Structure 1
Amino acid sequence: MKILEAAINSRQDVSLTAYLQDAGKEFRNITKRPAVLVIPGGGYQFCSDREADPVAFAYLKAGYHAFVLRYSVGDDHKWPEPLEDYEDAMEYIKNHAEKWNVLSDKIAVVGFSAGGHLAGAAATIAKHKPAAAILGYAVLNEVVDEIAEDAPIIAKQVEYDTAPCFLFASRADNVVPIKNTLDMAISLDKAGITFESHIYAFGPHGFSVGDTAIQTRESAFCERIPNWVQDSVGFLKDVMGDFCVGTAEDKILSKPKCKAHVTDDESAWLSLDCTIGRIMGNPVAKKVLTDVIEEMKKTIIPFTPEMTFDDMMNCFSRMKLRDILHEKSIEINEEQIDALLREVPNI
């Protein structure tokens, strides 16, 4: 493994530490690796050491390259300087991706507290959006006004192009109220963004990876808190893919199991992952699906004798077409039907 320190811009004390794992040779079929960019917390006054290298080491163990960003902090560095540091860091990593064997489209951010606010900004409003964001006890609502003047309220910035998010926090956090995480989850849900959330019953603010080597656990420290690390790695595998057999660049990682969005309703073209309401409201799609609809009429039994097929479709309007076909065991050539739907504009 190589450890490099890079000055990514001219600002004093801003730096990027790169932990670069080997690829190829003994690591069979792994010629490039995904990466995480760790953004420590510290109330925009300092960068916490316990949320820096120890976090990077956890993802190194899972096979990721890891980078730690120490960004602009203190009263002399106002927003949006921290976001500009993030943009510089991502650009620097992507410019060195070939040399460092980084999969440039598979870089996630991991942020804590105020660093979680910066990671949330990366996921929502940054030019260089990450492939996913892991937000730990992050400042995501109006609380940001207490630590950074003119900084955005992240929960209000969520739109369709927001990156998938993994959220974790402690219910008993008395520094960053749990409402920050709850507000973000609601915003992600409304926008149809894929997310996972873990709110532990009790524990202090700033627990990092929850290891006793970082801080000792007292009675007010939930034993399950360390689980967030492995759960977040699983989330990254779900949304970015896992290592698989292959040597070509597009075969280094498997196809993601989970899309960035719950449905394809906001995509430019229809698909099996659009909701029934969206598909059935499109006359062209209904023509394309004539045979499929006939099979559905034979298989889907109305809840009451008075209900029509259209009534049933209204009941299932929020379900993805793919899901109801699976639930009702309707056998079709999904790949073929999906390809036909993807030629239909989503209007």
Structure 2
Amino acid sequence: MKVSKRTLGAGDYRVTVTYYQPDPIADLHVIQKRPLAIILPGGGFTFYSQRESEIIALNYLAQGFAAVVVDYRLADQPPVLPTALYQLGTVVAYFRARAVADHLSPDHFILAGFSAGGYLAALYADHWSAPFLTQALGVASDQLKVNALALAYPVIGLRLGWPSTAPEREAIAGEWPYHEADQLVTAANPPTFIWATQTDELVPVTNAQHYIQALRAAGVSVQSTIYATGPHGLSLARAFTAFPKSYDAADATFGAAFVQPTVAHWFADELDWLDQVWNLTAFWRNQ
């Protein structure tokens, strides 16, 4: 595996990514084309959660994907929107242009977002072909397309319970009006996998529910699961992504709720869904 930092674009659209590229499997006597997972970690637009960054990329790599983690604009350089969408478009267009050189399959790009990163992913899935995006980046809309969307406990609209204060909302959207992702869904949205928990204490589950409803109304293929329990920010919902007892000396029990065996099936479920949407068995076998 090769890991590289790449800085793409210029000016306000400049963006740093970490690219994870698997080595070819010599036994196969062919350099495989690989799907690409474009990962947007959460962090409330104040940081990038490492529990939703490399560890997620490595899970995709274990399934044969290449992966890229995007350091999109944060709220310390307000407003986040629409600049973060231009940055994301820059990333998608770059890897589409590099598909041959990097042995990527341009028909198998999945955008995977968590929490605040899920908000950007959902907005991008709504806007990818919009003239404001294609004109700003100077590329055709087909160079900005993603072929699937995966959302984990996403923010969907700034009116739906997160963030809780006007200054926080202002730092994210400023005066840009096109920021309610469920109200912007069209039939051009990619097939979507989405999950959340009923007891999410930070981003109300109504966010995911609104987006699911909008996708279905637009005729977009969607697979969704709302789990009964689990806090916000579960990541893989396994012990190694849960906060250890030493994380909070005053509360050794903090972190236990981040181990949710039922929820932990979500990544395998996403891969099963992708196998259906993309027919991954045929994709690999026909190379």
Q: Give me the TM-score of the superposition, normalised by structure 2.
A: 0.80
For residues 26-175 of structure 1, the aligned pairs below 5 Å read 26-27=27-28, 31-78=32-79, 79-127=81-129, 128-141=144-157, 142-143=159-160, 146-147=168-169, 148-149=172-173, 150=176, 152-175=179-202
- 1:7 & 1:99 partners in 2: Cα distance? 17
Name which of structure 1's ranges 208-217 and 142-151 shifts more when overlaid on structure 2. 142-151
Give the 3 Å change call, closer, same or farther, for CA 162–182 of structure 1 in structure 2.
Answer: same
For residues 203-214 of structure 1, the aligned pairs below 5 Å read 203-214=230-241
Contact 2:239–2:259 (CA under 8 A) maintained in structure 1: no
Report the count of equivalent residues.
249
The answer to whether 1:6 aligns with 2:6 is yes
Contact 1:202–1:220 (CA under 8 A) maintained in structure 2: no
- 2:264 & 2:284 partners in 1: Cα distance? 33
- Please name the residue that 1:226 is paired with: 264
- 2:284 & 2:202 partners in 1: Cα distance? 46
Structure having the higher strand fraction is 2
- 1:109 & 1:245 partners in 2: Cα distance? 19
Q: SS of the residue aligned with 2:211?
A: helix
Q: SS of the residue aligned with 1:199?
A: strand
Cα-Cα RMSD:
2.2
1:45 CA drift (Å): 2.2
- 1:43 & 1:219 partners in 2: Cα distance? 20
- Please name the residue that 2:17 is paired with: 16
Q: SS of the residue aligned with 2:282?
A: coil
1:17-39 deviation digits (Å, cap 9, x = unpaired) = 11111336323566211111000
- 1:192 & 1:27 partners in 2: Cα distance? 39
- 2:233 & 2:48 partners in 1: Cα distance? 12
Give the 3 Å change call, closer, same or farther, for CA 191–212 of structure 1 in structure 2.
Answer: same
Give the 3 Å change call, closer, same or farther, for CA 28–182 of structure 1 in structure 2.
Answer: farther
Contact 1:134–1:167 (CA under 8 A) maintained in structure 2: yes
1:179 CA drift (Å): 0.3
Largest Rg, 1 or 2: 1
- Runs of 4+ with >4 A deviation: none
- Please name the residue that 1:256 is paired with: none
Give the 3 Å change call, closer, same or farther, for CA 219–55 of structure 1 in structure 2.
Answer: closer
- 2:11 & 2:118 partners in 1: Cα distance? 21
Q: SS of the residue aligned with 2:100?
A: helix
- 1:168 & 1:246 partners in 2: Cα distance? 27
Q: Percent identity?
A: 28
Which amino acid in the other structure matches residue 48 of structure 1? S
Q: SS of the residue aligned with 1:244?
A: helix
Contact 1:170–1:200 (CA under 8 A) maintained in structure 2: yes
Q: SS of the residue aligned with 2:48?
A: coil
Give the 3 Å change call, closer, same or farther, for CA 245–204 of structure 1 in structure 2.
Answer: closer
